[in-house]
Amino acid sequence: MVEGSPLKAEETKKKRMAQGKAMGIEALLRWGTEIGICDFAPSLIPPSPSSSCLGYSLFASHFPDAGGRGLGAARDLKKGELVLRVPRTALLTSDSVVRDEKIACCIKRYPHLSSTQILAVCLLAEVGKGKSSKWYPYMLQLPQYYSTLANFTDYEIKSFQLEDAIWVAEKAVKKAKSDWEEVITLMKEMQLKPQL
């Protein structure tokens, strides 16, 4: 490979992205610790002071054969054992985000929106806050694109070849578009960008 070649540049870009994701996960785990998220250690064993909210029962990792990032067991776990504590204040929900008076005021004018639509708008509002958002470290970890049924292209839908599967996929796409169109006015009113 020649120095400065497109292959070398692509390889360097991939390494930087991998390093950035690793640093992002570390920042996310530090943030989780700060807001009270922890994997549960039995009361007999004091948890070791750490910059990560995980390590006793769980660890964050990348599972390429199972869809990507996730949590793995760091030790043998017993059925029914509590392994992760997440305080309600750490959850990003439509209820928690509408504590912002500006967001709450706007959303009240659209009572017909579903909780999913409200949560999507609230998420975009938080993204718009950038680093000042309480959930910024979490939002940095969100995927930039999705491969869910509602995001399939016409070509991907037709590749199902079975009429029932095509019908379900087309219905999912129509529902997603309809939901999106219903929140566009609210998003414009809130001056939100329509993407992460």
Instruction: Note the pLDDT of residue 128.
Output: 86
Q: What is the pTM of this model?
A: 0.67
CA 22: distance to chain centroid? 16
Instruction: Report d(CA 141, CA 62) in Å as an integer.
Output: 13
Q: Tell me the pLDDT tens digit for each residue of 118-146.
A: 888 888 888 888 889 888 888 888 877 77
Residue 44: predicted pLDDT: 44
φ/ψ of 60, rounded to 5, equals: -90, 140
Residue 13's pLDDT band, with cuts at 50, 70 and 90, is very low
Residue 6 predicted with pLDDT over 80:
no
State mean pLDDT over 11-35.
68
Check residue 169 and give its pLDDT. 93
Question: CB atoms < 10 A from the CB of 136, how many?
Answer: 16
Of 187 and 145, the structure prediction assigns the larger pLDDT to 187
In this prediction, residue 98 carries a pLDDT of: 74
What residue segments make up the domains of the chain, in order of their start? 6-73, 92-189
What is the Cα–Cα distance from 109 to 100, expressed in whole angstroms?
15
Q: Can you give the three-state secondary structure of 74-93, one letter per residue?
A: CCCCCCCCCCCECCHHHCCC
Mean pLDDT score, 148-155: 88
Q: How far apart are CA 174 and CA 168, in angstroms?
A: 10
pLDDT digits (tens, 9 = 90+) for 32-73: 888 888 887 655 455 555 567 788 888 888 888 877 778 888
Residue 164: predicted pLDDT: 92
- Residue 75 confidence (pLDDT) above 80: yes
DSSP 161-186: -SHHHHHHHHHHHHHHHHHHHHHHHH
pLDDT band per the 50, 70, 90 thresholds, residue 172: very high
